Chains A and B, each alone.
Chain A
Amino acid sequence: MSEPDIIIVGAGPGGLAAAIAASRTGLKVEVIEQRHAPGGAIYRQPVDGVEPVPQAAAAKRRWQSLSTRFAESGVPVRTHSVFLGIDGDGTFLIDDRDRGKLDRLQPRGVIIATGAVEKVYPRPGWHLAGVSTVGGLQVMMKETGRAPQGRILLAGGGPLLIAVAAQMARLGNPPVAIVEAGDPAKELAAGLQILISPGLFAEAFSYLRTVYRHGVPWLRGHRLVSIKREGQDLAAVIEDRKGSRRRILADRIGLHDGIRPNDFGMPPETTVNRAAPFVIHAGDCREALGAVAAEADGERAGRMMAGLLAHGRHEINELEELVARNRRSQAVLARIFAPVQSGSLLDGLTDETILCRCEGRTVGDLRQLCSRPDPLTGREIKHNGRFAMGACQGRFCAANTAALMARLRPDIPAPAPGDLIGRRWPARPVSIGTLVGVPPHAEGQDEVLR
Chain B
Amino acid sequence: MRSSIPQTAIVIGSGIVGAAIAYFLTRRGIRVQLLEASAPAAEATGAADGAVSVASKRPGPMMVAAIAGVALYRELEHEGLFAGLFKSRSTFIVATSDEECAVLEAHADALEQAGVRIERLTGGALFEVLPALSPSTRLAVQVHGEGHAIGYQIVHRLLTAAGIVVDRHTPVNALLRDANGRALGVETHKGQIKADVVVIAAGTGSATLLGLADILIPRKGQLLVTERAPRLNAAFAGSIMSGRYLMSKGNRKPGAPTPARGLGLVIDPLVTGQFLIGGTREDHGDRRTNDIGAVSQILADAVALVPQLVHVRLLRSFAGNRTAVLDGLPLIGRVPGLDNAFVATGFEGDGICLGPIVGRTVAELVCGEAPSIDLVPFDPARFKSGMVAA
Point out the residues of chain A lying under 8 angstroms from B317, CB to CB. Answer: 424-426
Q: Known contacts A374-B159, A438-B310, A440-B311; decide if A380 and B39 are in contact (CB<8 Å).
A: yes
Query: What residue in chain A is nearest B225 (Cβ atoms)?
Result: A389
Point out the residues of chain A lying under 8 angstroms from B299, CB to CB. Answer: 432, 435-436
Q: Is the CB of B316 within 8 A of A426?
A: yes
User: In the bound complex, what is the Cα–Cα distance between A422 and B289 (angstroms)?
Assistant: 12
Q: Which residues of chain A (389-445) have a CB below 8 Å from chain B?
A: 391, 393, 422, 424-426, 429-433, 435-436, 438, 440-441, 445
Q: Is the CB of B168 within 8 A of A377?
A: yes
Q: How far is the CB of B84 from chain A (nearest CB, A)?
A: 13
User: In the bound complex, what is the Cα–Cα distance between A429 and B315 (angstroms)?
Assistant: 5
Q: Which residues of chain B (296-319) have a CB below 8 Å from chain A?
A: 296, 299-300, 302-303, 308-318
Chain A interface size band reads 35 or more
Q: Is the CB of B231 within 8 A of A88?
A: no
Q: Is the CB of B311 within 8 A of A445?
A: yes
Q: Is the CB of A425 within 8 A of B290?
A: yes
Point out the residues of chain B lying under 8 angstroms from A374, CB to CB. Answer: 159-160, 164-166
Q: Is A272 at the interface (CB under 8 A from chain B)?
A: no
User: In the bound complex, what is the Cα–Cα distance between A441 and B310 (angstroms)?
Assistant: 9
Out of A88, A441, A446, A450, which one reaches B290, CB within 8 Å? A88
From B39, B289, B310, name the one whose CB has the most chain A CB atoms within 10 angstroms: B310
Q: Known contacts A380-B39, A436-B299, A440-B310; decide if A429 and B290 are in contact (CB<8 Å).
A: no
Q: Is the CB of B228 within 8 A of A450?
A: yes
Q: Is the CB of B311 within 8 A of A91?
A: no
Q: Which residues of chain B (137-180) have a CB below 8 Å from chain A?
A: 152-153, 156, 159-160, 164-166, 168
Q: Is A99 at the interface (CB under 8 A from chain B)?
A: no
Query: What residue in chain A is nearest B166 (Cβ atoms)?
Result: A374
Q: Is the CB of A424 within 8 A of B293?
A: no
Q: Is B210 at the interface (CB under 8 A from chain A)?
A: no
Point out the residues of chain A lying under 8 angstroms from B40, CB to CB. Answer: 380
Point out the residues of chain B lying under 8 angstroms from A185, CB to CB. Answer: none
User: In the bound complex, what is the Cα–Cα distance between A437 and B270 (angstroms)?
Assistant: 25
Point out the residues of chain B lying under 8 angstroms from A436, CB to CB. Answer: 296, 299-300, 303, 310
Point out the residues of chain A lying under 8 angstroms from B231, CB to CB. Answer: 448-450
Q: Is the CB of A424 within 8 A of B318?
A: yes
One digit per residue, 1 when the CB lies within 8 angstroms of any chain B CB and 0 when it does not, for chain A 242-268 equals: 000000000000000000000000000
User: In the bound complex, what is the Cα–Cα distance between A442 and B164 (angstroms)?
Assistant: 53
Query: What residue in chain B is nearest A88 (Cβ atoms)?
Result: B289
Q: Is B78 at the interface (CB under 8 A from chain A)?
A: no
Q: Is B229 at the interface (CB under 8 A from chain A)?
A: yes
Q: Is B292 at the interface (CB under 8 A from chain A)?
A: yes
Q: How far is the CB of A123 from chain B (nearest CB, A)?
A: 26
Q: Is A379 at the interface (CB under 8 A from chain B)?
A: yes
Q: How far is the CB of B136 from chain A (nearest CB, A)?
A: 16
Point out the residues of chain B lying under 8 angstroms from A93, CB to CB. Answer: 292
Point out the residues of chain B lying under 8 angstroms from A193, CB to CB. Answer: none
Q: Is the CB of B156 within 8 A of A383?
A: yes
Query: What residue in chain A is nearest B42 (Cβ atoms)?
Result: A379
Q: Which residues of chain B (216-266) have a CB below 8 Å from chain A?
A: 226-232
Q: Known contacts A379-B42, A384-B152; decide if A430 and B314 are in contact (CB<8 Å).
A: yes
Q: How far is the CB of B49 from chain A (nearest CB, A)?
A: 15
User: In the bound complex, what is the Cα–Cα distance between A433 and B41 (angstroms)?
Assistant: 32
Q: How far is the CB of B297 from chain A (nearest CB, A)?
A: 9
User: In the bound complex, what is the Cα–Cα distance between A440 and B299 (angstroms)?
Assistant: 15
Point out the residues of chain A lying under 8 angstroms from B318, CB to CB. Answer: 422, 424
Q: How far is the CB of B105 from chain A (nearest CB, A)?
A: 30
Q: Is B18 at the interface (CB under 8 A from chain A)?
A: no
User: In the bound complex, what is the Cα–Cα distance between A255 and B19 (angstroms)?
Assistant: 43
User: In the bound complex, what is the Cα–Cα distance between A1 and B156 (angstroms)?
Assistant: 52
Point out the residues of chain B lying under 8 angstroms from A426, CB to CB. Answer: 314-317
Q: Is the CB of B312 within 8 A of A383?
A: no
User: In the bound complex, what is the Cα–Cα distance between A104 and B40 (angstroms)?
Assistant: 36
Q: Is A318 at the interface (CB under 8 A from chain B)?
A: no
Q: Is the CB of B310 within 8 A of A429?
A: no
Q: Which residues of chain B (34-56) have a CB below 8 Å from chain A?
A: 38-42, 46
Q: Is the CB of B290 within 8 A of A87?
A: yes
User: In the bound complex, what is the Cα–Cα distance between A104 and B296 (angstroms)?
Assistant: 12
Q: Is the CB of B316 within 8 A of A393?
A: yes
One digit per residue, 1 when the CB lies within 8 angstroms of any chain B CB and 0 when it does not, for chain A 69-81 equals: 0000000000000
Q: How far is the CB of A87 from chain B (nearest CB, A)?
A: 5
Q: Is the CB of A383 within 8 A of B159?
A: no
Out of B41, B230, B311, which one reaches A380, CB within 8 Å? B41
Q: Is A274 at the interface (CB under 8 A from chain B)?
A: no
Q: Is B295 at the interface (CB under 8 A from chain A)?
A: yes
Q: Is the CB of A432 within 8 A of B314?
A: yes
Q: Which residues of chain A (352-385) have a CB below 8 Å from chain B?
A: 372-377, 379-380, 383-384
User: In the bound complex, what is the Cα–Cα distance between A375 and B227 (angstroms)?
Assistant: 30
Point out the residues of chain A lying under 8 angstroms from B27, CB to CB. Answer: none
Query: What residue in chain B is nearest A91 (Cβ atoms)?
Result: B292
Q: Known contacts A384-B152, A424-B317; decide if A449 and B229 are in contact (CB<8 Å).
A: yes
Q: Is A48 at the interface (CB under 8 A from chain B)?
A: no
Q: Is the CB of B153 within 8 A of A450?
A: no
Q: Is B287 at the interface (CB under 8 A from chain A)?
A: yes
Q: Is A230 at the interface (CB under 8 A from chain B)?
A: no
Point out the residues of chain B lying under 8 angstroms from A424, CB to CB. Answer: 290, 316-318
Point out the residues of chain B lying under 8 angstroms from A431, CB to CB. Answer: 310-314
Q: Which residues of chain A (172-215) have a CB below 8 Å from chain B?
A: none
Point out the residues of chain B lying under 8 angstroms from A87, CB to CB. Answer: 289-292, 295
User: In the bound complex, what is the Cα–Cα distance between A350 and B311 (angstroms)?
Assistant: 38
Q: Is the CB of A435 within 8 A of B311?
A: no
Q: Is the CB of B289 within 8 A of A380?
A: no
Query: What residue in chain A is nearest B318 (Cβ atoms)?
Result: A424
Point out the residues of chain A lying under 8 angstroms from B168, CB to CB. Answer: 375, 377
Q: How far is the CB of B263 from chain A (nearest CB, A)?
A: 14
Out of A380, A393, A441, which one reaches B156, CB within 8 Å? A380
Q: Is A89 at the interface (CB under 8 A from chain B)?
A: yes
One digit per residue, 1 when the CB lies within 8 angstroms of any chain A CB and 0 when it does not, for chain B 166-199 equals: 1010000000000000000000000000000000
Q: Which residues of chain B (1-58) have a CB below 8 Å from chain A?
A: 38-42, 46
One digit per residue, 1 when the CB lies within 8 angstroms of any chain B CB and 0 when it does not, for chain A 130-152 equals: 00000000000000000000000
Query: Sorted from nearest, which 10 A-B pairs have the closest CB atoms?
Result: A88-B289, A433-B310, A429-B313, A383-B152, A88-B291, A377-B39, A436-B300, A438-B310, A87-B292, A384-B156
Known: A377-B39, A380-B152, A424-B318. 5 other contacts (CB 8 A): A89-B293, A91-B291, A379-B42, A430-B313, A433-B311
29 CB < 8 A contacts A-B: A87-B291, A88-B290, A89-B289, A102-B292, A374-B165, A374-B166, A380-B39, A380-B41, A380-B152, A383-B41, A384-B156, A391-B228, A424-B316, A426-B317, A429-B227, A429-B313, A429-B314, A429-B315, A430-B314, A431-B312, A432-B310, A432-B311, A433-B303, A435-B299, A435-B314, A436-B299, A436-B303, A441-B311, A446-B311
